[in-house]
């Protein structure tokens, strides 16, 4: 349930964000019958089992069981909390988000803390910027000049300077910020020796990290002289910053998409690679900030574009990182290629040595994952030597075996033939002998759940699903006459009855304001909306059978209860009355 937001606003938000349109921005959908189908974005699958019900505005995967409404979809696909999902949808629909009426002290404090941290980080960014322009940051300015970063680009990225250990915390405290909030922002650290606050980026060139909403959420810092510790340092993780869920420069990419559209996205490793490419005209660039690309970052990238180039360093470590990143992006159903760079060079080096045209040539040479894997597999082998050639050939065949089509395998085998001098026929025979376990290392296909539910539970599910989804034979069915033992069934029945009493349309999507989207029993009921289950031949008869089944089971239970009560009763008159009831139930049961 949403706390602190007006229910009318949430209803308006959902009505202005059609679920099919929202999901289509992330998942290719195809209409089949009354629903839209695609491959589930929340688990790996080859056969589409993810469906979007346009009429009832909910999604459901018949493979892994996930389900929800438009808010829960954005929350999961973007890896954000409820409020941020609301903000994303509100921005999409151009709706202002109303003030939230927080109903607990803890919630109010969490909001105050988050707002204060963002204010501290924004103030810190301005502080660093002023330092850079103060005339006291000679080393920082010289570094910028040496790297040939233009003044407009410096301003565009908000670069700044940390001059020492103590001026930042002193400045923040002078602005009236609380000590605990300053610490929680990540902008400072606490000295273990004396408890004094110190600048976490002391002495470094500063790169503000800004999220898609334009908020400064963290900082990266670059040392200006050689030292025994890392050249680059990021703000520690805080309530507003999680490196694995953030892409550097996503704020400017978002503006570019809104202004002129975005055909593809370049993913690099670091701050300077991003800035250098941006200055060279490749403004569609983001960075994973030195971390291995994560699923959350892949999902964030997918929000803006489906075509992605991985452009990591040209050394072997960078190439291996590119493969891992490409596999993650591929699993998120993105169209991805790897940009091959000259050995030992990063994108910044290529631009500086060869100019924008040189980097464009690298982009033009971008290759699919499997081709790039073959290139990387050759690293460390001298194929002029017999033993190395045999080892490389064996590794290459395992990679080729991963190809999903025979035509791709044939093309790759020809490339391997030309590279090694081994005949195509012998390579093909060897490929056929690659063990299946090595040929495919993917995730197993999901299995539809079978929970062994008894006939009573199955009858309850079918009745509720028939009424919930408006099956023609259940339109006037009164749920008041049905007793549900399962709490989830009871809650759904009460929800339907309340809507019917008010004359309101019953929408399954509203159930996600009541239940967690991962409630197993709700998932089982949503499963029944598949295909013609509720409207096919025999559905009406099965519905009547389910109603009779529940009546018979209730009668059996009541008969068993009264029989036990009769056996225990010592008062003759009461025993006769109970016996009369038992006989009446026995006759009723016989007539089912």
* CATH number assigned to the domain comprising residue 253: 3.40.1360.10
The kind and range of the H/E element at 543 are: helix 539-568
Please indicate, yes or no, whether residues 501 and 574 belong to a single structural domain of this protein: yes
Please indicate, yes or no, whether residues 200 and 145 belong to a single structural domain of this protein: yes
Please indicate, yes or no, whether residues 89 and 108 belong to a single structural domain of this protein: no
Would you give the DSSP letter of residue 501? Answer: H
pTM above 0.95, yes or no: no
State the pairing for strand pair 265-268/307-310. Answer: parallel
Would you give the DSSP letter of residue 293? Answer: P
Residue 481 within any structural domain of the chain: yes
Can you read off the two tokens belonging to residue 13?
């938000």
Would you give the DSSP letter of residue 229? Answer: S
pLDDT tens track for 91-120: 998 888 876 654 556 666 777 888 899 999
Residue 444 within any structural domain of the chain: no
Can you tell me whether residue 335 is helix, strand or coil?
strand
* CATH number assigned to the domain comprising residue 554: 1.10.860
Nearest to 349 by CA among 308, 311, 317, 397: 311
**In degrees to the nearest 10, what's the CA dihedral of 500, 506, 509, 510?**
-20
Residue 57 within any structural domain of the chain: yes
Nearest to 277 by CA among 224, 351, 213: 351
CA angle 251, 254, 257 (to 5 degrees): 155
Please indicate, yes or no, whether residues 201 and 326 belong to a single structural domain of this protein: no
CB 60 within 8 A of CB 53: yes
Show the DSSP H helices in 280-346 as ranges. 295-302, 316-331
CA angle 86, 90, 93 (to 5 degrees): 140
The domain boundary, picked from 318, 348, 367, lies at 367
CA 152, CA 543: separation in Å to the nearest integer?
Answer: 69
The domain boundary, picked from 93, 119, 150, lies at 93
CA 550, CA 455: separation in Å to the nearest integer?
Answer: 9
CA end-to-end span of the chain, whole Å? 42
Please indicate, yes or no, whether residues 215 and 277 belong to a single structural domain of this protein: no
Can you tell me whether residue 207 is helix, strand or coil?
strand
pLDDT for position 448: 28
Can you read off the two tokens belonging to residue 347?
């994108």
Residue 267 within any structural domain of the chain: yes
CB 321 within 8 A of CB 312: yes
* CATH number assigned to the domain comprising residue 143: 3.90.980.10
Residue 98 within any structural domain of the chain: no
CB 482 within 8 A of CB 547: yes
Q: How many CB atoms lie within 10 A of CB 440?
A: 10
The domain boundary, picked from 241, 261, 276, lies at 241
Please indicate, yes or no, whether residues 84 and 138 belong to a single structural domain of this protein: no
Residue 447 within any structural domain of the chain: no
Please indicate, yes or no, whether residues 496 and 583 belong to a single structural domain of this protein: yes
CB 430 within 8 A of CB 424: no
Q: In tens digits, what is the pLDDT along the chain, a chain of 592 residues?
A: 444 567 778 888 988 999 999 999 888 898 887 788 998 888 777 778 888 988 888 898 887 778 889 998 998 888 777 888 898 999 998 888 876 654 556 666 777 888 899 999 999 999 999 999 999 999 999 999 999 999 999 999 999 999 999 999 999 999 999 999 999 999 999 987 888 999 999 999 999 999 988 899 999 999 998 766 678 899 998 988 988 889 999 999 988 987 888 899 999 989 999 999 999 999 999 998 876 788 888 888 887 888 999 898 766 555 665 676 677 787 777 888 889 888 778 899 999 999 999 999 999 999 887 888 888 788 778 888 988 889 989 988 988 887 878 888 899 899 889 888 999 899 888 888 887 544 444 333 222 233 445 788 888 999 999 988 888 888 888 888 888 888 889 889 998 888 888 887 777 878 887 876 667 788 888 888 766 678 777 788 888 888 888 888 888 888 888 888 888 888 888 888 888 887 887 777 766 6
Please indicate, yes or no, whether residues 516 and 460 belong to a single structural domain of this protein: yes
Please indicate, yes or no, whether residues 120 and 220 belong to a single structural domain of this protein: yes
Please indicate, yes or no, whether residues 305 and 228 belong to a single structural domain of this protein: no
Residue 354 within any structural domain of the chain: yes
Please indicate, yes or no, whether residues 156 and 114 belong to a single structural domain of this protein: yes
Residue 450 within any structural domain of the chain: no
What is the residue range of 412's domain? 378-439
Please indicate, yes or no, whether residues 282 and 359 belong to a single structural domain of this protein: yes
How many domains are there within the chain? Answer: 5
pLDDT for position 260: 86
């Amino acid at each position: 349930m949403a706390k602190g937001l007006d229910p009318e606003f949430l209803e308006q938000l959902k009505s202005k964000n059609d679920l099919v349109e929202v999901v289509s921005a992330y998942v290719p959908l195809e209409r089949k019958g009354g629903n839209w189908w695609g491959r589930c974005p929340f688990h790996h699958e080859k056969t589409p089992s993810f469906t979007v019900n346009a009429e009832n505005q909910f999604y459901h995967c018949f493979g892994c069981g996930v389900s929800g409404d438009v808010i829960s979809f954005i929350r999961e696909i973007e890896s954000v909390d409820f409020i941020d999902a609301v903000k994303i949808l509100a921005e999409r629909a151009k709706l202002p988000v109303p003030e939230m009426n927080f109903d607990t002290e803890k919630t109010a404090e969490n909001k105050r803390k988050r707002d204060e941290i963002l204010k501290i980080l924004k103030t810190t960014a301005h502080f660093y910027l002023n330092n850079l322009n103060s005339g006291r940051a000679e080393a920082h300015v010289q570094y910028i000049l040496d790297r040939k970063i233009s003044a407009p680009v410096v301003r565009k990225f908000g670069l700044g300077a940390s001059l020492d250990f103590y001026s930042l915390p002193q400045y923040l405290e002078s602005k009236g910020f609380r000590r605990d909030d300053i610490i929680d922002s990540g902008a400072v650290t606490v000295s273990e020796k004396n408890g004094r606050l110190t600048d976490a980026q002391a002495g470094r060139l500063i790169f503000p990290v800004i999220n898609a909403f334009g908020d400064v959420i963290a900082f990266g810092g670059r040392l200006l002289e050689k030292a025994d510790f890392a050249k680059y340092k990021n703000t520690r993780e805080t309530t507003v910053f999680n490196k694995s869920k953030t892409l550097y420069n996503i704020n400017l990419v978002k503006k570019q998409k809104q202004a002129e559209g975005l055909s593809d996205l370049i993913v690099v490793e670091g701050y300077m690679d991003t800035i250098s490419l941006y200055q060279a005209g490749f403004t569609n660039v983001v960075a994973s900030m030195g971390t291995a690309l994560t699923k959350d970052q892949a999902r964030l990238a997918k929000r803006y574009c489906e075509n992605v180039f991985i452009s990591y360093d040209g050394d072997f470590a960078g190439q291996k990182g590119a493969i891992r990143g490409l596999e993650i992006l591929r699993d998120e159903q993105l169209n991805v290629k790897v940009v091959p760079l000259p050995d030992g060079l990063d994108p910044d080096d290529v631009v500086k040595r060869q100019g924008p045209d040189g980097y464009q040539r690298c982009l033009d040479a971008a290759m699919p994952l499997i081709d790039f894997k073959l290139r990387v597999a050759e690293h460390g082998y001298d194929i002029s030597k017999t033993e190395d050639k045999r080892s490389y050939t064996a590794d290459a065949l395992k990679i080729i075996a991963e190809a999903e089509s025979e035509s791709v395998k044939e093309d790759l085998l020809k490339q391997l033939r030309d590279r090694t001098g081994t005949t195509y026929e012998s390579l093909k025979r060897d490929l056929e002998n690659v063990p299946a376990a090595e040929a495919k290392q993917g995730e197993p296909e999901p299995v539809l759940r079978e929970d062994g539910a008894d006939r009573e539970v199955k009858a309850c599910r079918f009745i509720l699903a028939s009424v919930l989804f408006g099956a023609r034979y259940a339109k006037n069915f009164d749920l008041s006459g049905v007793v549900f033992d399962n709490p989830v069934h009871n809650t759904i029945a009460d929800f339907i009855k309340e809507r019917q009493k008010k004359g309101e349309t019953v929408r399954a999507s509203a159930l996600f304001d009541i239940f967690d989207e991962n409630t197993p029993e709700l998932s089982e009921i949503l499963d029944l909306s598949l295909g013609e289950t509720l409207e096919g031949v025999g559905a009406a008869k099965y519905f009547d059978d389910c109603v009779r089944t529940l009546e018979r089971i209730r009668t059996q239970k009541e008969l068993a209860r009264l029989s036990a009560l009769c056996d225990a009763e010592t008062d003759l008159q009461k025993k006769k009355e109970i016996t009369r009831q038992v006989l009446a139930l026995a006759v009723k049961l016989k007539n089912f």
